[in-house]
């Protein structure tokens, strides 16, 4: 099976797949995660602070996003919205879908992390005369952040792999490129295994970053 | 300095504080004793507004807070009051993500808007006072319970409060660690801070109290000097005091 021809194809295709990984997969992941995390912080804060009017809205948002498949959401945004006159570039559509997704899931992570901060910590802040925002900013969020690092990395690693779904709305990321090469060379097994290995490399690097971050947080702050 | 008038607090159907009137005198040590569930901690927490009473008044110096009015208390009023009342908790509650010195300067810098350098200087002096200057850059988890409570006392002192409130400050400590915390409180008593302590340590209460309040079922059963309480002839109080000594 691993004859010379296949080895040649694998060698030639490696960089052809890796390059869209660097130009599409990684930026897509980073941008979507950054926007998604920002959204998640807002959503979690609205929920724990029980902001009127907004609270039911964000609950509805989390319900919709978590209750429907990501792939279907992407199709609605990219193929569906043009019927309403909203034409989006495929990359923009992918970023919107991924950000909304991260926002919904990570908001639950953050909400749980915020609620895990012991009441005594909050009382100690209040007893000094700190107002709600000072307690939130100086006491609750730094402690909640630490708790939420491992599950947030989980979402981050998931997102790296989920970007492969963008191929279905015409984004020429790694998986799309490997599909094309597989179709041309009639070597689906080799090509799909190759792209799987590249995803694995990306995620392994992230796992290392996670371990480093956790170690650093432990050293830095109890 | 603190006048408490007709203070009431109810949790669901339980009347925890039932119309309490007390005067806390300046530069004196007031000790609150009484059986579990008598409302001691609720009364103390009311003095820091961590618990907001349902009705009644608390006056400090010339400003009075009225509870249970149609207009709820303004946040600013609550914060102003808390700045003047330093709280030391049973479970220390040091900020776990901050070093010892950061714990101490948090209030002065964030709330009182002091310059950081100045706050650190004052904070180090307070750490010196509680004998923990060498622990300034350690995290709370690296300290023993007794040391954590001493830092918590320094943190409360850093706000230069008008009154210091202690909620069973040694209940979470082993007997040997208790001694070092009681020693610090003793020093503060000698320095004539205005202090209110909730405690079960009758020996300590007898030693430091200028005024003792005996609470039961949310009411003051008796108050006065420790010896007057012992001689009050109230069977309930005698039984309580002898059972703990």
Per-domain boundaries in chain A: 4-220
Q: How far is A143 from chain B, CA to nearest CA, in Å?
A: 7
Interface A-B, measured as beta-carbon pairs within 8 A, has a size of 67
In angstroms, the separation between the Cα of residue A37 and the nearest Cα of chain B is 22
User: Is there a single domain that holds both residue B201 and residue B142?
Assistant: no
Query: In chain A, what are the helix, strand and coil shares in percent, each to the nearest 5?
Result: 85, 0, 15
Strand ordering across the sheet containing B63-67: B14-24, B2-11, B55-60, B63-67
Residues B217 and B233 in one domain: yes
| CA dist B83 → A165, B118, B185 (Å) | 55, 18, 20
pLDDT value of position B244: 66
Question: Can you give the pLDDT at residue B245?
Answer: 57
Q: Is B135 on the interface with A (CB under 8 A)?
A: no
* Rounded distance between C-alpha atoms, residue B85 and residue A161, angstroms: 54
Element containing residue A170 per DSSP (H, E): none
* Rg (alpha carbons) of chain B, rounded to whole number: 18
Domain that includes residue B99, residue range: 94-160
Residue B1 domain-assigned (yes or no): no
Cα separation, B72 vs B109, whole angstroms: 28
Q: How would you class B222 by CB atoms within 10 Å of its CB: exposed for 0-12, middle for 13-18, buried for 19 or more?
A: middle
CATH code at B76? 3.40.50.300
User: Is the CB of B123 inside 8 Å of chain A's CB atoms?
Assistant: no
Do B99 and B124 belong to one domain?
yes
What pLDDT, on a 0 to 100 scale, did the predictor assign at position A218? 79
For residue B88, the model assigns a pLDDT of: 97
Instruction: Please give the Cα distance from B137 to A176 (Å, whole number).
Output: 53
> What secondary structure letter does DSSP report for B59?
E
Q: How many CA atoms lie within 13 A of A166 on its CB side?
A: 31
Nearest Cα residue in chain A from B83: A129
Do residues B98 and B145 both lie within one domain?
Answer: yes
Are residues B172 and B155 part of one domain?
Answer: no
Which of B139, B160, B181 is the last residue before a domain boundary? B160
- B183 close to A (CB below 8 A): no
Distance from CA of A151 to the nearest CA of B (A): 19
| CA proximity to A35, closest of A45, A25, A43, A23 | A43
Taking alpha carbons only, the member of A184, A182, A33 closest to residue A109 is A33
B114 & B78 share domain: no
Q: Check CB contact under 8 Å for A125 and B83.
A: no
B215 interfacial to chain A (CB closer than 8 Å): no
**A90-138 pLDDT, tens digit each:** 999 999 999 999 999 999 999 999 999 999 999 999 999 999 999 999 9
What's the total number of domains in chain B?
2
Shortest distance, CA A26 to any CA of chain B (angstroms): 32
d(CA B218, CA B163): 22
Asked, for residue B6, whether it belongs to a domain, the answer is no
Among the three residues B108, B134, B160, which one is the final residue of a domain in this structure?
Answer: B160
Query: Is B137 at the interface with chain A, CB within 8 A?
Result: no
B205 lies in the same domain as B222: yes
- Residues of chain B contacting A149 with CB distance shorter than 8 Å: none
Residue of B nearest to A134 (CA): B110
Side-chain half-sphere CA neighbours of A84 within 13 A: 8
pLDDT of residue B228: 87
Instruction: Give mean pLDDT in consecutive 10-residue pieces for chain B, a chain of 245 residues.
Output: 92 89 94 91 94 93 87 88 95 95 97 96 96 95 94 97 95 90 94 94 91 92 88 82 70
Average confidence (pLDDT) over A184-201: 95
Assign B232 to helix, strand or coil.
coil
Interface with A, mutate which of B46, B95, B107, B149 (most A CBs under 10 A): B95
Residues B26 and B37 in one domain: yes
Residue B36 lies in a domain: yes
At the fourth CATH level, which superfamily is domain A4-220?
A: MetI-like (1.10.3720.10)
Question: What's the mean pLDDT when you consider all of chain A?
Answer: 94
Does residue B4 sit within a domain? no
CA pair distance A32, B71, nearest whole angstrom: 46
pLDDT tens, B103-155? 999 999 999 999 999 999 999 999 999 999 999 999 999 999 999 999 999 99
- Which of chain A's residues have a Cβ under 8 Å away from the Cβ of B119? none
Same domain, B153 and B169: no
pLDDT tens for residues A40-93? 999 999 999 888 899 999 999 999 999 999 999 999 999 999 999 999 999 999
- Does B47 share its domain with B134? no
The residue-averaged pLDDT of A1-21 equals 91
Residue from the list A121, A131, A146 with its beta carbon closest to the beta carbon of B93 = A121
ipTM (interface pTM): 0.91
pLDDT at B112: 96
Question: Rounded CA gap, B73 and B67, in Å?
Answer: 7
- Report the Cα–Cα distance between both ends of chain B, in Å, rounded: 31
Instruction: Categorize the per-residue pLDDT at A1 as very low, low, confident or very high, splitting at 50, 70 and 90.
Output: low
Q: Would residue B67 count as lying in a domain?
A: yes
Does one domain contain both B30 and B149? no
Are A114 and A46 contacting, i.e. CB atoms less than 8 angstroms apart?
no
Query: What pLDDT is stored for residue A221 in this prediction?
Result: 59
State the pLDDT at residue B131: 94
DSSP B88-148: E-TT----TTS-HHHHHHHIIIIIS---HHHHHHHHHHHHHHTT-GGGTTS-GGGS-HHHH
Last residue of a domain, one of B113, B137, B160: B160
Residue A127 is nearest to which of B80, B82, B97, comparing CB atoms? B82
**Nearest-by-CA chain B residue for A139:** B95
Please, which pLDDT band fits residue A38 given cuts at 50, 70 and 90? very high
Per the CB < 8 Å rule, is A123 touching B50? yes
- pLDDT tens for A155-178 read 999 999 999 999 999 999 999 999
User: Please, how many CA atoms are within 13 Å of residue A1, restricted to the half-sphere of its CB?
Assistant: 5
Verify whether the Cβ–Cβ distance B80 to A143 is below 8 Å.
no
Q: Are B51 and B58 in contact (CB under 8 A)?
A: no
User: Cα-atom radius of gyration of chain A, to the nearest Å?
Assistant: 21
pLDDT at B230: 83
Flag if A138 and B110 touch (Cβ within 8 Å): yes
Q: Which of residues 143-172 of A touch B (CB under 8 A)?
A: 143, 146
Q: How big is the CA angle at B162 (ends B157 and B164), to the nearest 5 degrees? A: 55
- Select from B89, B91, B139 the Cβ nearest to the Cβ of A222: B139
Chain A: closest CA distance from residue B212 (Å): 24
- Considering the domain architecture, whether residues B78 and B180 belong to the same structural domain is answered as yes
């Amino acid at each position: 099976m691993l004859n010379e021809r296949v080895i040649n194809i694998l060698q030639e295709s490696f960089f052809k797949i890796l390059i869209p990984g660097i130009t599409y997969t990684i930026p897509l992941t980073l941008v979507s995660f950054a926007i998604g995390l920002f959204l998640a912080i807002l959503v979690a804060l609205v929920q724990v602070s029980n902001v009127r009017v907004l609270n039911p809205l964000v609950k509805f948002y989390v319900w919709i996003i978590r209750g429907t498949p990501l792939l279907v959401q992407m199709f609605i945004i990219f193929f569906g919205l043009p019927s309403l006159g909203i034409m989006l570039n495929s990359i923009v559509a992918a970023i919107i879908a991924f950000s909304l997704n991260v926002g919904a899931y990570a908001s639950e992570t953050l909400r749980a992390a915020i609620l895990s901060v012991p009441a005594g910590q909050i009382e100690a802040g209040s007893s000094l005369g700190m107002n709600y925002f000072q307690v939130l900013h100086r006491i609750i969020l730094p402690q909640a952040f630490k708790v939420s690092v491992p599950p947030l990395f989980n979402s981050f690693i998931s997102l790296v792999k989920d970007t492969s779904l963008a191929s279905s709305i015409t984004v020429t990321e790694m998986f799309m490129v490997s599909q094309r090469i597989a179709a041309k060379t009639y070597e689906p097994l080799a090509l799909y295994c190759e792209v799987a290995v590249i995803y694995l490399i990306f995620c392994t690097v992230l796992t290392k970053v996670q371990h480093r971050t956790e170690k650093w947080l432990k050293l830095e702050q109890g | 300095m603190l006048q408490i008038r007709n203070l009431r607090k109810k949790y669901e159907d339980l009347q925890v504080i039932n119309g309490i009137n007390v005067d806390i005198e300046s530069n004196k040590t007031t000790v609150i004793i009484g059986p579990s569930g008598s409302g001691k901690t609720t009364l103390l927490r009311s003095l820091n507004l961590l618990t907001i009473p349902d009705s009644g008044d608390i006056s400090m110096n010339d400003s009075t807070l009225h509870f249970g009015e149609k207009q709820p208390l303004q946040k600013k009023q609550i914060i102003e009051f808390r700045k003047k009342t330093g709280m030391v908790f049973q479970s220390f509650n040091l900020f776990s993500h901050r070093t010892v010195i950061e714990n101490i300067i948090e209030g002065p810098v964030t709330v009182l808007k002091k310059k950081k350098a100045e706050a650190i200087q004052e904070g180090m002096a307070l750490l010196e006072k509680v004998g923990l200057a060498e622990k300034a850059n350690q995290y709370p988890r690296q300290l023993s319970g007794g040391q954590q409570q001493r830092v918590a006392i320094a943190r409360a002192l850093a706000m230069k409060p008008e009154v210091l409130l202690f909620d069973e400050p040694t209940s979470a400590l082993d007997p040997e660690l208790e001694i070092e915390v009681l020693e610090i409180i003793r020093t503060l008593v000698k320095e004539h801070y205005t202090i209110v302590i909730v405690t079960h340590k009758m020996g300590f209460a007898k030693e430091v109290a200028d005024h003792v309040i005996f609470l039961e079922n949310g009411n003051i059963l008796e108050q006065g000097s420790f010896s007057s309480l012992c001689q009050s002839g109230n069977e309930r109080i005698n039984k309580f005091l002898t059972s703990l000594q």
